[in-house]
Amino acid sequence: MPVSGSRPLRRRGPSPRPTSSSAGALAVAVAALLAFLGRWAAARLAARGISPAILLPGRVVAGMVGVDGLGWSATGLGVWLLAGARGVEVDARLLLCAYALS
């Protein structure tokens, strides 16, 4: 029962979403913090004689993925040929997917 002179409780809706400018400012702040901490951590590691790893360029990563894909394809083909020689019928796509995901 409401007390005299009190206001009724308002129903609160969901909190407002941040605007794109505040989300952008937050993203810039986080990126700046990570860049600063990265340099600070690299300096601490270098002081201890440890060289931090660097990110590989996109072309190098793409080349590594391509070579890895060729290797898994060759493995899947070899298993498919071996299974065929043993008289077992197996879908080649199934073997390729199974070896690529293992």
pLDDT for position 69: 86
How far, CA to CA in Å, does 53 sit from each of 34, 41, 47, 50, 102?
16, 12, 15, 9, 27
Please report, for the chain, how many H helices and E strands are present, in that order. Answer: 3, 0
> For every one of its 102 residues, what pLDDT tens digit does the chain have, with 9 covering 90 and above?
555 666 665 656 555 565 666 777 777 887 777 777 777 887 888 888 888 777 778 899 999 999 988 888 888 888 888 888 998 888 878 877 777 676
Q: Which two tokens stand for residue 17?
A: 């979403």
Question: Residue 93: CA atoms inside 13 Å, Cβ hemisphere, count?
Answer: 0
